[in-house]
Structure 1
Amino acid sequence: MMTSPLVLRLLACASLASAASSSSTSAKTTPQRITYTSLSSAADDSGSDLLLDALTKDGYVSITDIRSQHGLHFREMKHNLMSNLHECLSDIGEDVPLQHLDDGTVRKSFATVTLPSADDAASQQPIHLLDDYLARNPHKSAACHAFQEHLSDFRSTVGDATRLFAARLSAELGVSLPHPLLVSSNVKRGTDDNYDDVESVVMGGEQLEHFHSYQKGDDVKEGNDSMATIELHTDQGLFIAFTPGMLVDHSTDQSMELSDGFYVQDSTTGENVLLEFTQDDDLVFMLGDGVNQIINNQLGDEDGKKVLRATPHALSLSHEQPRVWYGRMVLAPNDAYLPEAASTTFGQLRQAFVESSSKGESIPMGIGCSSNSKMVINTSRFLADEEHDEDEGGHGVSENQCADDSMFCWYRCMALTEETATCAERRLGLQCVDPRGLVVEGGAGHGDFYPACTNNTHITHPITPYPQIEQQDTDVCTADLWTEFNAEEEYDHVISLKPDPTKPGPATNLYWSIIESEDGQKKLKARLTFNDVFGWLAMGFANEFDTVHNGMNGGKVLLMKPGGEYSPVTGLDLSVGPNVGAYVIDDTDSAFRHWVDTESAVEKASHEHTDCFTALSFESDNISGQTFNLEGTDNIIWAGNSNDYYVGYHSPFSRARLTINWLTGDVEFFVSKPAWGAEDDADVSEADPLDSPTKLEDDDSSSSTIGASIGLAIVIISIMMH
Structure 2
Amino acid sequence: IIQITRLRDFGTQRREVLIAANDCFERHDVLAETTPLADGTIRSTLASQTIPNGAQPFGVPQCAAFSSAAVSFRMTIDRAIRTFASRLSRMLEVDSPLLTTPSGFDFGTFEDIVTAGDHLEHFHKYVRPGGDKSDTPALGLHTDQGIFIAFVPGLMLRGGLVPAAAPAADFEIALADGSRVIAHFDEDALVVMLGDGITQIVRPKLGPHARFTPRAVPHSLSMPTTAPSEARLWYGRMVLPPLDATVPGNTVTYGDAREAVMRGKIHDKRGISIGCAGGDDALESHARRVLASEPICSSGNTIHCWYRCMDLADYNATVAQCDAQGGLRVQCVNPRDQYTDGYKHGDFFPACTNTTQVVTPVPTIFNYPRDATCEEDGAFETFASTEGYAANATLQGTCGVTPCEKGVLMWNLLPSGEVSAKVAFDSGFGYIAIGLENPGGKKNGMNGAHIVMATPGNPQTYTPTKGLDDFRGPFVNEYIIADGIAHHGTSAFRVWHTPFADVSIKDAGFEAADCFTSMHFVTSAFAGWALNTSGTDILIWAAYGKDAYMSSHGRGNRGKLPISWADGQVATPA
TM-score tier by shorter-chain length is: 0.3 to 0.5
**TM-score scaled to structure 1, two decimals?**
0.37
